[in-house]
């Protein structure tokens, strides 16, 4: 007989309880028993035997759902392991969706099951697996979408590569539709992006860096919206970064097409000047854009065009980055800064707090078909407790986890995670 | 010395004045041969460039430095050593002056962060080539007496040219009017924001200019489809006597070398002693590099 897991029941006192997916935004107490949210409310008393956490008015929301994360495993363990990514609990994240363009690519049902199981082993993280849209993420022939879906793949994507062939993309959207699955696109026209290191324009010209025209993004988005209309398939654009992309997506949504998108913190917090003097830690894919695009993305968070904010975590080793700019690997780490940078839009711009939390919890959960990201009674108690006004500073080299390649080094942030709970068990304490 | 961008007019003027004095000393054979005695200068060339390397070598030797040439073919970079490993090695050797030529933009900036030596950028990717711009400016100033209010046309493959970028920064900073002339496929995005006028027609671009600076067209640009053929390029953008007629009657012609005769420049123009400054540019190169080595080693010399 297996020993039952000993777990303390927890009573959160005086919390700002926030569950935007269910319209909850109130001050009160919340009770977790056996890893399940039993009840919450202003009048809820301290149950006998429960451990009390005095929240002192801090925000208690669902554990964050990060819908775009590259794990180092399998294949790039020198960059990060699943165990080190699990330290993402420090960022309040309890569920993440892992990209399939690893080595090997996640294009076999057994790999989907493995990845999911590896998440469970950490005890602090639910890993949802994206599966490869094409075999080996090579963009040539469709992967076994049905079998992969059956094994638990939440959606299909080739990771950091758009499908170059229009015919293949049409086929993918059509076939995936039969399994009710969404196709996630890295919107960047490959032949325009080839060899590029920065957004084409004055800055790239001054630095002598090969440019990628910003329109490389809108070209793929325009094409794939038309294919979604043609096929009835469901398409999601990852890390959108330009004003023009949002205009196209807004129009597609108005038309009622199954088109959604996310963005990542660098695209509403930084602009291209962050790469000035060849700072490779700010080399990302897609590259940082001009200020007018950054402002449009920030506005898209508020007006609802953008459905989710994902960290777009891309772990890189120092050796991947300590190279001349064009040779350095693109990508930034983002797990532990996801909440803080999003909160900067609450503090310094016009993003309402409930909308910010929705973009980090219920929004991505809905897209992924996950039952995470909610505080309904009877739900698994994945929780994030954070002090929205408490300040901290991002220091590369001192962040939790292995990947230290943050584009936000030196940034002062307001919004500090105080604790994270996975299925009622405390997995992070500040 | 990593880039011209960000330099102020008095800094540039001071450097040109010092270089001017080295021109006179070189011509009279009275160079102070012990200024850099006991100092080590390493030429670190990841790209072949006989003329720039030789120019730095000569400049260093005329000032009495110990000059070592490290070519990429003889170094361990081919064995997977990174630029920063190389930097660490050179640091351990207590190098005073490090001249770097590299195929990647920003390579000199990266190296400068990691070594104690004074770093001189001898060309990084398509970013900058500051000593070339200084020697071009010195050449012009000696012939025309000034840089201010001159009109200079920089012609050809501006997109891939570090020489063009450094010259644009220097000349606009010093008050010259700069035009860039070339096919739209060889123009960098938003180049007008650097303070230049853009032309795609040589005759219009050269109209009434004081100086015509030709750029080298590298053959691999053709294979990438940016220009359909050499003969088409020469027809529309190669400098010949006919096109040069649109410039001022006494307009001067420059080229950073090495030239592709019959591609971007006609031999009749390149070799015309009345118009071509190409040889003089080479002479000024040594003087400018002596001035740069002199200035960059001053702090170390003061500390001794």
Distance CA B69, CA B96 (A): 14
B189 contact A CB<8A: yes
Who's near A167: CB < 8 A, 6+ residues apart? none
Please tell me whether residues A69 and A211 are part of one structural domain: yes
My answer on whether A386 and A350 are in the same domain is: no
Which residue is catalytic, options B31, B40, B52, B95?
B52
User: Does one domain contain both A115 and A56?
Assistant: no
The model's pLDDT over B284-298, given as tens digits with 9 standing for 90+, comes to 999 999 999 999 999
Check whether residue A244 and residue A113 sit in a common domain. yes
Instruction: Identify whether A419 is part of a domain.
Output: yes
Are A169 and A101 found together in one domain?
Answer: yes
Do the Cβ atoms of B110 and A207 come within 8 Å? Answer: no
Token pair for residue A219?
């070209």
The answer to whether B148 and B171 have CB atoms below 8 angstroms apart is no
For residue A406, being part of any structural domain is answered with: no
Residue A2, pLDDT score: 41
| Residues A348 and A384 grouped into a single domain | no
Interface list for chain A against chain B, based on CB atoms closer than 8 Å: 200-202, 204-211, 213, 277-278, 319, 322-327
**Domain's final residue, options A346, A368, A390:** A368
Closest partner residue to B162 among A200, A208, A323, by Cβ? A208
Alpha carbon of A367 to those of A67, A107, A181: distances in Å? 9, 21, 10
Residue A405, domain member (yes or no): no
Catalytic residue among B51, B219, B224, B279: B51
What is the domain extent for residue A390? 10-60+380-398+412-429
Domain count, chain A: 2
Burial label, A173 (beta-carbon count in 10 A; 0-12, 13-18, 19+): buried
What chain A residue is nearest to B114 in terms of C-alpha separation?
A: A322
Q: Are strands A24-33 and A51-54 parallel, antiparallel or unpaired?
A: unpaired
Among B46, B88, B106, which would you mutate to test the A interface (most chain A Cβ atoms within 10 Å of its Cβ)? B106
B113 touches chain A (CB under 8 A): no
Tokens of B201: 């027609």
Separation CA A204–CA A198 (nearest Å): 6
Q: Are residues A394 and A286 in the same domain?
A: no
pLDDT one-digit tens code per residue, A407-429: 999 999 999 999 999 999 999 99
Nearest to A284 by CA among A328, A340, A324, A339: A328
pTM over 0.80: yes
Subunit contact B84:A208, Cβ cutoff 8 A? no
Q: Which residue has the tokens 């080739």?
A: A158
Residues from chain B contacting residue A204 (CB–CB below 8 Å): 188-189
Nearest to B189 among A200, A323, A325 (CB): A200
Q: Which residues, at least 6 apart from A1, have a Cβ–Cβ distance to it below 8 Å?
A: none
Of the partner residues B104, B124, B194, the one whose CB lies closest to the CB of residue A205: B194
Q: Are residues A154 and A284 in the same domain?
A: yes
Q: Percent of chain B at pLDDT above 90?
A: 82
The pLDDT confidence band at residue A311, using thresholds 50, 70 and 90, is: very high
| Bridge partners, A65 (sequence order) | A95
Res B77: pLDDT = 57
A374 falls within a domain: no
pLDDT at A160: 94
Residue A3, in any domain of the structure: no
> Within this chain, do residues A182 and A198 fall inside the same structural domain, yes or no?
yes
Whether residues A349 and A232 share a domain: the answer is: yes
Q: A28 and A146: one domain? A: no
Q: Which residues of A are catalytic?
A: 312
Whether A317 has a pLDDT exceeding 80, the answer reads: yes
Q: What is the mean pLDDT of chain B?
A: 93
CB contact (8 A) between residue A204 and residue B193: no
Taking an 8 Å cut-off on Cβ atoms, the answer to whether A326 and B165 are in contact is no
- pLDDT over 70 for what percent of chain A? 98
Beta strand pairing call for A10-19 and A59-62: parallel
Please determine, for residue B304, whether its predicted confidence score (pLDDT) is greater than 80: no
DSSP states of A323-343 as a string?
Answer: S-GGGSPP----TTTHHHHHH
pLDDT of residue B89: 86
State the pLDDT at residue A3. 43
pLDDT in tens, B20-57: 999 999 999 887 789 999 999 999 999 888 899 999 99
Q: Which residue in the set B107, B124, B191 is minimally distant from A205, CB to CB?
A: B191
Based on the fold, state whether residues A50 and A176 are members of the same structural domain: no
Q: CA triplet B137, B141, B144: central angle to 5 degrees?
A: 135
The ipTM value here is 0.94
CATH of the domain at A48: 2.30.40.10
Answer yes or no: is A393 within a domain.
yes
A1 lies in some domain: no
pLDDT at B78: 53
Residue B75, pLDDT above cutoff 60: no
Q: What integer is the mean pLDDT of B262-270?
A: 95
pLDDT score recorded for residue A107: 97
CATH at residue A248: 3.20.20.140
Q: How far apart are CA A89 and CA A428, in angstroms?
A: 6
Cα atoms found within 13 Å of the Cα of residue B189, Cβ hemisphere only: 16
Q: Using a CB-CB distance cutoff of 8 angstroms, which residues of chain B are in contact with residue A213?
A: 189
Tell me if A260 is assigned to some domain: yes
Q: Which residue of B has its CA nearest to A324?
A: B107
Does the beta carbon of B104 lie under 8 angstroms from any beta carbon of chain A? yes
**Would you call B114 helix, strand, or coil by DSSP?**
helix
pLDDT at residue B218 in the model:
80
Instruction: Read off the tokens for A47.
Output: 């149950």
């Amino acid at each position: 007989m297996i020993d039952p897991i000993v777990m303390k029941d927890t009573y959160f006192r005086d919390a700002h309880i926030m569950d935007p997916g269910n319209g909850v935004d109130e001050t009160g107490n919340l009770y977790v028993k056996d890893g399940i949210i039993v009840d919450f409310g202003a009048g809820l008393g301290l149950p006998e035997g429960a451990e009390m956490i005095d929240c002192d008015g801090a925000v208690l929301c669902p554990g964050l759902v990060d819908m775009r994360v590259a794990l180092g495993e399998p294949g790039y363990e020198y960059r990060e392991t699943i165990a080190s990514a699990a330290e993402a609990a420090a960022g309040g994240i309890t569920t993440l969706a892992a990209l399939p363009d690893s080595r090997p690519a996640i294009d076999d049902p057994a790999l989907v099951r493995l990845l999911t199981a590896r998440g469970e082993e950490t005890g602090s993280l639910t890993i949802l697996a994206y599966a490869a849209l094409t075999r080996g993420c090579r963009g040539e022939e469709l992967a076994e979408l049905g079998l992969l879906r059956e094994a638990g793949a939440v959606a299909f994507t080739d990771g950091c590569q758009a499908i170059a062939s229009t015919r293949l993309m049409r086929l993918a959207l059509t076939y995936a539709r039969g399994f009710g699955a969404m196709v996630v696109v890295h919107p960047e026209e490959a032949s325009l992006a080839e060899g590029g290191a920065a957004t084409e324009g004055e800055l790239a010209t001054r630095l002598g860096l090969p440019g990628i025209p910003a329109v490389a993004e809108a070209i793929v988005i325009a094409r794939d919206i038309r294919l979604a209309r043609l096929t009835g398939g469901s398409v999601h654009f990852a890390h959108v970064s330009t004003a023009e992309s949002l205009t196209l997506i807004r129009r597609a949504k108005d038309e009622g097409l199954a088109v959604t998108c996310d963005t990542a913190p660098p695209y509403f917090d930084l602009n291209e000047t962050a790469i000035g003097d060849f700072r490779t830690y700010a080399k990302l894919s897609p590259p940082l854009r001009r200020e007018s695009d950054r402002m449009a993305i920030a506005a898209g968070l508020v007006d609802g065009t953008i459905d989710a904010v994902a960290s777009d975590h891309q772990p890189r080793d120092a050796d991947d980055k300590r190279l001349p700019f064009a040779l350095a690997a693109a990508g930034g780490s983002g797990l532990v800064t996801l909440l803080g940078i999003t909160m900067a839009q609450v503090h310094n711009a016009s993003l309402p707090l409930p909308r910010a939390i929705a973009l980090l919890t219920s929004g991505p959960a809905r897209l992924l078909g996950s039952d995470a990201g909610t505080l309904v009674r009877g739900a698994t108690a994945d929780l994030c407790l954070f002090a929205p006004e408490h300040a901290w500073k991002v220091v590369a080299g001192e962040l939790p986890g292995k990947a230290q390649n943050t584009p936000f080094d030196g940034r002062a942030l307001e919004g500090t995670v105080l604790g994270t709970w996975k299925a009622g068990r405390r997995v992070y304490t500040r | 010395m990593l880039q011209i961008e960000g330099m102020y007019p008095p800094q540039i003027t001071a450097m040109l004045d010092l270089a001017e004095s080295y021109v006179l000393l070189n011509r009279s054979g009275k160079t102070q041969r012990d200024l850099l005695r006991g100092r080590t200068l390493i030429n670190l060339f990841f790209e072949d460039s006989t003329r720039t390397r030789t120019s730095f070598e000569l400049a260093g030797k005329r000032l009495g430095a110990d000059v070592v040439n490290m070519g990429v073919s003889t170094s361990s970079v081919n064995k997977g050593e990174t630029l920063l490993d190389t930097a660490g090695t050179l640091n351990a050797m207590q190098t005073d002056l490090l001249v770097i030529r590299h195929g990647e933009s920003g390579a000199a900036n990266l190296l400068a962060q990691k070594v104690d030596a004074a770093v001189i950028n001898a060309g990084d990717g398509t970013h900058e080539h500051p000593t070339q711009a200084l020697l071009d400016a010195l050449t012009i100033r000696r012939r025309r007496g000034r840089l201010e209010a001159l009109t200079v046309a920089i012609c050809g493959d501006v997109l891939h040219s570090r020489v063009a970028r450094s010259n644009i920064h220097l000349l606009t900073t010093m008050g010259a009017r700069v035009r860039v002339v070339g096919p739209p496929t060889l123009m960098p995005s938003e180049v007008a924001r650097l303070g230049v006028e853009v032309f795609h027609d040589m005759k219009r671009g050269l109209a009434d200019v004081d100086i015509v600076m030709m750029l080298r067209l590298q053959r691999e640009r053709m294979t990438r489809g940016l220009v359909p053929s050499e003969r088409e390029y020469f027809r529309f953008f190669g400098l010949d006597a006919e096109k040069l007629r649109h410039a001022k009657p006494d307009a001067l012609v420059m080229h950073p070398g090495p030239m592709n005769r019959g591609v971007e420049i006609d031999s009749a123009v390149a070799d015309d002693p009345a118009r071509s400054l190409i040889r003089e540019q080479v002479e000024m190169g040594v003087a400018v590099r002596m001035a740069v080595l002199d200035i960059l080693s001053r702090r170390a010399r003061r500390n001794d």
